Structure 1
Amino acid sequence: MGAVIPRDRRLPLALHALGMAVVGYGVVVGRSVELHGAWVAWATALAIAAWAMVEVLPRPDDRPGRRPALTAVRRAATLVGVAVASFSVVPTNGTHLAPQAVLIIVAIADEGAPVWLGATAAAIATVLTPLGAVATHASPSVSYLAAVAVWMLIGITRRQSGVAIARTRELEARQLEARAQEARAGALAARQAAASDIHDVLAHSLGGLVIQLDAAEALLEAGRVGEARVTVSQARVLAAEGLADSRRAVAALRAPDEPVLGDHIGRAGPVGDGGAGCGEPVRDGQAGLRSEPLGARGEAVRPSRRSEPVNPGRRGEPGGDDEPRGPFPASPATDLRDAAERLLRTHRELGGRVAARLDLARAPAPIPAPLAGAFARALQEALSNARRHAPGTPVEASLVATDELLTLTVSNPLAPAAVGGGGPAPAAVGGHGLVGMAERFALLPGGAATAGEHDGRFVVRARARVAAG
């Protein structure tokens, strides 16, 4: 029995079995058979048998996929049991009210049963209860008919309660699934954000390192050891800045509620007394196209006392000047301007040429850090792509604020291979920076970012709303 009957049904079935025994005992003790004949005993047996079949046979919602014949047998047993019990309620002095009540309540309350089954059972009880009294020459009692109404109300209440419980469970299941989907979407968004930040940091720092090391190699091959040493020193500073940016990106991922723009974004390396000029590319027979950073008077940039770190620690090491100074809160327009100027200065020191326009006078202060960080990353990505895919070409950059919008436009001529159809445009060369940039701006109010070819130039455009509302 334990292998067939579910554990949660064992106690109810035991109580029903006890009720059946009490009904049989009541009929015997009440001498109903002696007073009205053997048919009362047969009626009692049929009522108890119908009661047992209804409780033992599986409900349609308990065993999905069962044969329809069992469902038909269960419904027939319900109606037969109600008819027999109702007709013999008065002759048994109300003893058969128990099977009548159980069968009517179950027929109405079962959500898997059709409504007509409960209505038919109640109608049969209403008609046959007084007929049984007339057949045995007893006066029909109104209380027995009132009992039928009570069974109907109990059945309706239980059915509505069952439907409400089922709907609640379905709603809870949907909510759990929605929360699971939201968690998966949040995890995916976090992974995409982490991938974008890591790409921005590594593409900028490693790309700059490649250019600087290539330039150092070309200088060494040309016998210009002193200038090569300066270039290697600048490469080391760039590596330290990349490490600081990486730490800052990890800190932002660990504490997403504390936006970080970073005071090292695009920070230039050591500059000479004459300032950072626009380095012209030099070509070497073995090293290919190289970028040699030059000072304002054309000489190689060398470290000066002003570029030495105040902290005596080594750059890029704990306690050194390149150790990240930590996040700062929402930045005013001057901080975004400072980050942009540092990125432009770094681009020039890496051999790039850029004409920039920074017009942030109308930008509201403070500019939210996520907004400022997104524009700084977009400018960083555009300049890195220009150095990587079109080295030596002049870049035009514009960062302009109006009363409502902040817009960034960066463009550069396409490399000769891309113009002639011999090579892909920057957006097609295996990187994810432009995709991450578009995703980052899509999360900003009124934000959008695009990149593509236009009139022989590769153009990166980004915009976002800065005004409230």
Structure 2
Amino acid sequence: MNALRRLEGVDWVRWGVLTLPSLFAIPSAPAWTWPLIALVAACSVPVLLLRTVRPPWLLPTVLVLVIAVTGALWVLRPGGFTSVSMFGATFFTLRSFGRLASAFAVAAATGTIVAWSITQHLGWLNALAILCVLIVMVLLAANRRSRVERLEQTELALARAQTAAEEHGRAAALAERARIARELHDVLAHSLAGLALNLQGARLMLVRDGASDDALAQVERAQKLASEGLSEARNAVAALREDVVPVERTVSDLLTAYRLDSGARADLVVEGEQRELDASVGATLVRAVQEALVNTRKHAAGAEVDVRLVFGADEVALTIADRQGRRPPDAPAPGYGLRGMSERVALLDGALESGPGEDGWRIQLTVPV
């Protein structure tokens, strides 16, 4: 269900432009026009109340209907100000929606202007002047859409540049870690291994020659310290080469790649106290996001994606939802990807739910930690 949002001044202005001219015409309008006025008021409600109207074709449809109805009122009652609503709805449609909705809006407004010019017996110059107002609106809307597209392209280019810079920095850090790991392995670890072998040989020689217990104890202690140092050096090398990345960072990188590939919005919300997770838990969460994004690319290309990661006291919850703008059909049978995801979650004693939601596919899993 779409959430209501806090109304801003621009919302009230837009609603007033679409509705108030028709409402002000009620006292002088005949009764047979009241249903048309009521239709205009009803169609303007989605513009005022809802943040995202679903399905996506509903809002442009009602705006085109507002253009047609207010245009009819303008032609039938030329003394009113319903033309303000018609031109306002036309501009809003041209500015906010695609070519198909804009074409219908321009056609409806042009037909209204032609009909009004004929009924008012205007000369062709006066009719052309009114049409010029519509042409100016088309140009202004086209300019705004072009500016928005340029801004989006700029933001996309900046995001790609930032991602490239992050990857470059990450690659440099990994290269430095690998260099340090090689130095530790080739110098320190080898030296400690050789030291441990020499001390073992020294202990055997002392035993053969009947050395005192104190001398044997000192050599054995030195051998133990060398062995422990060798173990610590190997652990340090393994840690440097492993480069553990937090789950939220990995998921964020996956969503960034999806945004760059599809151009659609993909957001991550993290709640709770973030902490390092067990390797199996982290791998399960990351694989779930990967599989969900693969399915979105396959079945709902270009859909927006919302991911919510919640760190609880005893569990971690992950929700992945794509916004297709419609309820998808039920899957006849779970695919291999979802089946494998379910098996991984079951091995961790977690729970997995997946299926169609109101406006897209939704996957939710919970894993104990």
TM-score normalized with structure 2 length: 0.46
Which one has a larger percent helix, Structure 1 or Structure 2? 2
Give the structure-1-normalised TM-score: 0.37
Larger Rg: 1
